[in-house]
Amino acid sequence: MSRTRQRKIIAAGMAAFIALTAGGAVAAQAAGQPSGNIDHHDVTTTLATDFDAVSRSTSWQLTSKLKLNFPTYHTEGIAFSPDHIFLSAVQILEPTVKYPTPQNGYDRTPGKGVGHLFVMDRNGSLQKDITLGEGDMYHPGGIDFDGTNVWVPVAQYRPNSSAIIYRVDAGTLDVQKQFEVPDHFGGIVRDLQTGHLVGNTWGSRRFAEWNLQGKQLATWDNPNFFIDYQDCQYVPNSKMLCGGVTNLPQTPAAGGSSATYELGGMAMIDLTSQSVIREVPFQKWSTAGHVATRNPFKMTADGDHLTLKVAPDNGDEGNGTEILTYEATVSPTR
């Protein structure tokens, strides 16, 4: 791809997020291609630098709510292209049920459901509902836009199972089944430095790296147990930023072990060293009372200004699914 073409796509992506963000916060991304390495000499690393200045004392302000006026079910991941907002969600038809003891390597029944990738305009109006999945694989996870394609994992709704990795052209909305993997992968990003894909399993206990033909190139365990990553994004150079949640037991006075609270957080992961380089809790709450980083999560940076977009509530909760915008100003060391 020519340097001129890269700049055009990066500029288009920036313009799209500016239109969605009151503060105009932007993280530029290089355009992806179906195969090969990507030159992102021109890509900014502002987001990585700014996030390194985020702490528990960072002041995040809720600046807007965009209500989605169509059935969204259980939201999973979000991505922004120049023309669209993409939102993955799972529609549960039959819940999974835990087995008394594991059966055939599974701890629960497969359940039944429908995987959705909702395509919206920049005002949140539904343009297309793309159904994804096969058989017991109906659970879309966290998604990522690489400048050309939206990458979507659709897995069984149980650990140690299987998943399909889909590529959706963000312009034409054509769907390509890229490959299958023998485990539940609930999130994915495309590393624009290498051109490879990186996914995280159930509970974010393990990561795997593949080429675009599905050959596994590396795998590593996650030594951190702070949160389960739900939705991630690529950050230059060879990093991924994830939002997530974990449910922890309450004190006896607050309901004991039968009651839980949601701990939200964010983590920056270095894909070269395969390590978490910064983790920060995030305890802002949605209309329905969920922690904001519960599922769909994307962040941009413009100078020292950060903008976070999340959609934690399901379609049947609170005020329905709302895309919430939080903004903060940090003081990074450059």
Check residue 250 and give its pLDDT.
87
Q: Report pLDDT digits (tens) over 150-172.
A: 999 999 999 999 999 999 999 99
How far, in Å, CA of 234 to CA of 246, rounded?
22
Q: Is the pLDDT of residue 12 over 50?
A: no
Residue-averaged pLDDT of the chain: 89
How far is residue 268 CA from its own chain's centroid?
13
Q: Which residues, in sequence order, are CB contacts of 198 under 8 Å at separation 6+?
A: 188, 189, 190, 191, 207, 208, 209, 240, 271
**The pLDDT value given to residue 13:** 46
pLDDT reported for residue 44:
55
Whether pLDDT at 122 is above 90: yes
Measured CA distances, 305 to 61, 183, 277 (Å):
12, 38, 20
Question: Where is pLDDT greater, at 270 or 36?
Answer: 270
Q: Are 113 and 48 in contact (CB under 8 A)?
A: no
| pLDDT tens-digit readout, 163-213 | 999 999 999 999 999 999 999 999 999 999 999 999 999 999 999 999 999
Overall size of the chain counted in residues: 334
Supply the pLDDT for residue 256: 78
Q: Which two tokens stand for residue 239?
A: 């990093």
Give the list of residues 6+ apart from residue 184 with CB closer than 8 angstroms, or none. Answer: 139, 155, 156, 158, 159, 160, 161, 162, 163, 201, 202
Domains of the chain with CATH codes: 3-323 (2.115.10)
* 302-326 confidence digits (pLDDT tens): 999 999 999 999 999 999 999 999 9
What pLDDT was estimated at residue 274? 96
Mean pLDDT of 82-93: 98
Cα angle, residue 253 at apex, residues 248 and 258 outer, rounded to 5°: 45
Rg (CA), the chain: 19
Give the pLDDT of residue 28.
34
Which H or E element spans position 265? Answer: strand 260-270
d(CA 6, CA 29): 9
Tokens of 29: 């991304």
pLDDT digits (tens, 9 = 90+) for 241-287: 999 999 998 888 888 778 889 999 999 999 999 999 999 999 999 99
